[in-house]
Chains A and B, each alone.
Chain A
Amino acid sequence: MTSPKDTPEATAETDADATTELGAVAKGEPDAAAMEEDTADFPLAEPALRTTRAGRLEARRPSSRPSRTRLGLNLLSYLVLAAGFVLTVAPFILSVMTAFKTPGQFASEPALNPPSPVTVENFITLFTGERNFWAPIAVTAQLVLVVVVGQLGFSVLAAYAFARIQFRLRDVLFWGYLGTMMVPQVVTVIPLYTIFSQLGLRNTFWALVLPFVFGSPYAIFLLREYFRAIPEDLISAARLDGAGTLRILWSIVIPLSRPILATLTIITVVSHWNNFLWPLIITSGRTWQTVTVATAALQSQYNGNWTLVMAATTIALAPLLVLFAIFQKNIISSIAITGFK
């Protein structure tokens, strides 16, 4: 446990424009881990920390309110958070419980009964035998990887162009991009299916990937907001040093946007991992089945097979949770620039 040091903060940026810059630029954000360590030592102390890329400095701001109110507020916060926790988790407990029940118990007892005996047979079924989940997981993982790499890369390029480069059709094109988000997927799926069918790409890996890999209006929208908020001074300073537009993108904008890139990565992974309608329509049979389609396929005409479906859902959830747990630190952690050198 590190003990807090009462060092004066080492201001990372040189501009006094910090007070006028608005937006989600990553500057001086508290480090979650450091906060937790600190509050473990000093639970009533107000966390006011910052870190720099070079190392960790902690500064303590004097608390401006009496500790009893602080305690009260903390307790209230915990109560609210705990209520939220229960409400969030309760349906999942039901779902996970069902995954550990035998199909026989599920059929013959009410859904709310706890599993007895607790069994892993559903999970075993999902990983052995002909209809196992290895293939769907492999397929989905690959498609998510390709889509994330491509979509993020190309969206960053486009968002940067929209945010910081002047060109004539800029606003028109941006609103055009945004507009494509406003047509429901349910109707665009059919023309898209026809395109891929005519190209002979039906039921292939590329059909799963191509519509998304070139960038997404949502990602471009999100990144553009954040890129716009990057302080102009940093950019001008870089230009004065002779950096070109692309260099600025690479060396300034992207490093500063790590939190939002981490957020976007998670969002993209989750939405493509859970994508259902398109993979359903464009693939057929077992070869290119994704996890969502394979889960739906567990159901038969007269039987929901809910124990299997819940087990499959739990399995599908696990990698996403792990990913999120890893990435969320990136979202919160701070990057401060020590001035452009």
Chain B
Amino acid sequence: MKGLWRKGAALAAGAASLAMVVTGCSPAAPNGSGNSSGGNVTVTVRLWDDQVQKAYDASFKQFESQNPGITVKTVLEPYSTYFDKLRTDVSGGNADDIFWISGSYFAPYADNENLMAIGSDFDSEKAGWVPAAVDQYTRNGKLWGVPQLTDGGIAVYYNKDMLAKAGVDPANLSWNPADPSKDTFLKAAQKLTLDAKGHTADDPAFDPNHIVQYGFNASQDLQAIYYNFIGSNGGAFQDGENFVFASDKSAQAIQYIVDLINKYHVSPSAADTNDNGDFMRDAFIQGKVAMFESGTYNLKNVSDGAKFGWSIAPMPAGPDGRVSVVNNIIAAGNAKTAHKDATTKVLQWLGSADGARFIGSEGAAVPAVTAAQSSYNEYWKSQNVDASQFAKAAQGKTIGAPIGSNYGAAFNAWKPIFNEIFLGRTPVKEGLQKAQDAANAAMKQ
């Protein structure tokens, strides 16, 4: 018995030491050493979109052939944790040489000089970039990255059959919170909302407890819904870094959206949509929603998933016309990079029409380099989709995307209150005031 244990012990010790020695191998380890082998410099680029990563890899192959001595590697970090990791990595000095940033999060990095300022080396390219993107990322008088993606503006995907059946033409709808006689949008949405017995929402016999088809996707969606409604009503969300969404015109717009949900029932209850960003998109793709206001980021999803005839129309016009938010993504250079020259060269490539062309060619996203955008439109044309509405919206009136040094904190402060507003549990004006105060307090921390 003891002998057995001794053998067992020897075995265990042997296994342990073997484990210590042999393990630590990863099948995914990159071949060869990473850096400076004979003057070769490696620049790493961090991003979160795997479709664009494929485009980048193709793009960088061309770059490398034109720039021997520089190797470019892309690193994909999942979006859900991208900004947590970016913060800790920048803080620890471990960030990649180039990384993507989105508007809501970039201010603290700019303020703390973690990013390379885009200076005179890029003057020749600047004119070719989407102006809204340049504005969005100019802070303290400097531009802090090379615009890479633009979301374009917001437009409305619609279900052709549903609209034909209801006799609705989506091209010229307008909404008006003050004057119902001018509100063609609400009437259309009501006609497109059906209960189990086929009554439309404007029918007195309409049963809001058994809706089988919704007319619109009013919900607590900042980029797709409420930001644009506020802008289209002549209101504002922010004044500089100060939140002003409780002001009259903005509150009026929010009240209109909340009424769409809770009063007119043309959209599902906020209980379904408040914490589930996919709900409306899935409902549209499943053929349960007639009009779906959204951006280019859902184009691929809709195109892949929808089994019905669909098209894209401009968003409904408000009292102030059609005002859309245009969000953009930049590729920023790490101020602490060890290879400043090589990084600058890669950034210049990314900002050029040649380099950015790859982004659009698989329909992944709209490049923020205007000259390269044709690749995107061509791709979708080949798929029989006319994506021009998004570009048109971006060229019309726009409202700047939210910014701030403490944007994340502010968002977390207002979201729970907005949840209650959209659920109808808190009156709109009062709730917005509370949310605005909370957001401003959080921003100033």
**Which of A145, A250, A255, A298 touches B23 (beta carbons < 8 Å)?**
A145
A66 to B12, CA, bound (A): 50
A63 to B374, CA, bound (A): 85
| Beta-carbon contact of A149 and B15 below 8 Å | yes
| Beta-carbon contact of A286 and B28 below 8 Å | yes
Contact A281:B26 (CB < 8 A) given known A296-B81, A301-B49: no
The interface residues of chain A lying within 8 Å CB-to-CB of B379 are: none
Tell yes or no: B122 within 8 A of A by CB: no
Question: For chain B residues 265-305, which have a beta carbon within 8 Å of chain A?
Answer: 278, 282, 285-287, 297-298, 301, 304-305
CB of B13 to closest CB in A, whole Å: 9
| Beta-carbon contact of A302 and B28 below 8 Å | no
Segment of B72-80, B230-238, B343-351 in the binding face:
B72-80
CB of A233 to closest CB in B, whole Å: 19
A259 to B94, CA, bound (A): 44
**Which of B9, B24, B77 touches A206 (beta carbons < 8 Å)?**
B24
| Beta-carbon contact of B30 and A287 below 8 Å | yes
Interface residue count on the B side (C-beta < 8 Å): 47
Contact A108:B286 (CB < 8 A) given known A153-B16, A302-B297: yes
**Which of B15, B26, B50, B306 touches A205 (beta carbons < 8 Å)?**
B26
A108 to B51, CA, bound (A): 22
**Which of B24, B48, B84, B301 touches A142 (beta carbons < 8 Å)?**
B24
- Cβ contacts B35-66/A at 8 Å (1 or 0 each): 00000000000001111000000000000000
Question: For chain B residues 1-39, which have a beta carbon within 8 Å of chain A?
Answer: 2, 5, 9, 12, 15-16, 19-20, 23-30
| Beta-carbon contact of B50 and A300 below 8 Å | yes
| Beta-carbon contact of A285 and B85 below 8 Å | no
A297 to B23, CA, bound (A): 24
Residue of B24, B29, B49, B79 most packed against chain A (CB within 10 A)? B24
**Which of A197, A287, A301 touches B79 (beta carbons < 8 Å)?**
A301
**Which of A109, A110, A280, A304 touches B81 (beta carbons < 8 Å)?**
A280
| Beta-carbon contact of A287 and B28 below 8 Å | yes
Contact A110:B286 (CB < 8 A) given known A299-B80, A300-B49: yes
Tell yes or no: B320 within 8 A of A by CB: no
A109 to B283, CA, bound (A): 9
Tell yes or no: A245 within 8 A of B by CB: no
Contact A287:B26 (CB < 8 A) given known A107-B305, A302-B298, A304-B278: yes
A301 to B26, CA, bound (A): 27
CB of B424 to closest CB in A, whole Å: 25
CB of B97 to closest CB in A, whole Å: 13
| Beta-carbon contact of B76 and A297 below 8 Å | yes
- Chain A contact residues, majority secondary structure: helix
Tell yes or no: A123 within 8 A of B by CB: no
A215 to B184, CA, bound (A): 69
CB of A231 to closest CB in B, whole Å: 19
Question: For chain A residues 284-324, which have a beta carbon within 8 Å of chain B?
Answer: 284-289, 293, 296-304
| Beta-carbon contact of A104 and B305 below 8 Å | yes
Residue of B27, B285, B297, B304 most packed against chain A (CB within 10 A)? B27
A134 to B29, CA, bound (A): 12
| Beta-carbon contact of B305 and A108 below 8 Å | yes
The interface residues of chain A lying within 8 Å CB-to-CB of B26 are: 135, 138-139, 205, 287-288
The interface residues of chain A lying within 8 Å CB-to-CB of B12 are: 149
| Beta-carbon contact of A302 and B23 below 8 Å | no
Considering the complex, give the chain B residue whose CB is closest to the CB of A189: B88
The interface residues of chain B lying within 8 Å CB-to-CB of A280 are: 81, 84-85
Tell yes or no: A202 within 8 A of B by CB: yes
**Which of A108, A142, A284, A303 touches B85 (beta carbons < 8 Å)?**
A284
**Which of A149, A150, A193, A287 touches B92 (beta carbons < 8 Å)?**
A193
| Beta-carbon contact of B301 and A284 below 8 Å | no
The interface residues of chain A lying within 8 Å CB-to-CB of B286 are: 107-110
The interface residues of chain A lying within 8 Å CB-to-CB of B23 are: 142-143, 145-146, 205
Question: For chain A residues 136-193, which have a beta carbon within 8 Å of chain B?
Answer: 136, 138-139, 142-143, 145-146, 149-150, 153, 190, 193
Size range of the chain A interface in the assembly: 35 or more
Question: For chain B residues 222-247, which have a beta carbon within 8 Å of chain A?
Answer: none
**Which of B25, B78, B282 touches A299 (beta carbons < 8 Å)?**
B78
Tell yes or no: B408 within 8 A of A by CB: no
Tell yes or no: A11 within 8 A of B by CB: no
Tell yes or no: B89 within 8 A of A by CB: yes
Considering the complex, give the chain A residue whose CB is closest to the CB of B286: A108
The interface residues of chain A lying within 8 Å CB-to-CB of B131 are: none
The interface residues of chain B lying within 8 Å CB-to-CB of A138 are: 25-27
The interface residues of chain B lying within 8 Å CB-to-CB of A304 are: 278
| Beta-carbon contact of B92 and A250 below 8 Å | no
A50 to B48, CA, bound (A): 59
A287 to B304, CA, bound (A): 31
- Cβ contacts A251-275/B at 8 Å (1 or 0 each): 1000100000000000000000000
- Cβ contacts A94-132/B at 8 Å (1 or 0 each): 000000000110011110000000000000000000010
The interface residues of chain B lying within 8 Å CB-to-CB of A328 are: none
| Beta-carbon contact of B88 and A190 below 8 Å | yes
| Beta-carbon contact of B88 and A193 below 8 Å | yes
| Beta-carbon contact of B94 and A197 below 8 Å | yes
**Which of B76, B81, B287 touches A285 (beta carbons < 8 Å)?**
B76
> Known contacts A104-B304, A108-B287, A135-B26; can you find 20 more A-B pairs with CB under 8 A?
A108-B286, A109-B286, A136-B28, A138-B27, A139-B26, A142-B19, A142-B23, A202-B92, A205-B23, A206-B24, A251-B2, A251-B5, A281-B85, A284-B85, A285-B76, A287-B26, A297-B78, A299-B79, A302-B298, A302-B301
Report the 6 A-B pairs with minimum CB-CB distance, sorted nearest first: A135-B28, A107-B305, A301-B79, A205-B24, A197-B92, A142-B23
Interface residues of A (CB under 8 A from B): 103-104, 107-110, 131, 134-136, 138-139, 142-143, 145-146, 149-150, 153, 190, 193-194, 197, 202-203, 205-206, 250-251, 255, 280-281, 284-289, 293, 296-304
Interface residues of B (CB under 8 A from A): 2, 5, 9, 12, 15-16, 19-20, 23-30, 48-51, 75-81, 84-85, 88-89, 92-94, 96, 278, 282, 285-287, 297-298, 301, 304-307
Give me 15 A-to-B residue pairs in the complex whose CB atoms sit less than 8 angstroms apart, sorted by A's number: A107-B282, A107-B285, A107-B286, A108-B287, A135-B27, A135-B28, A149-B19, A197-B92, A202-B94, A206-B24, A251-B5, A284-B77, A284-B85, A296-B78, A300-B49
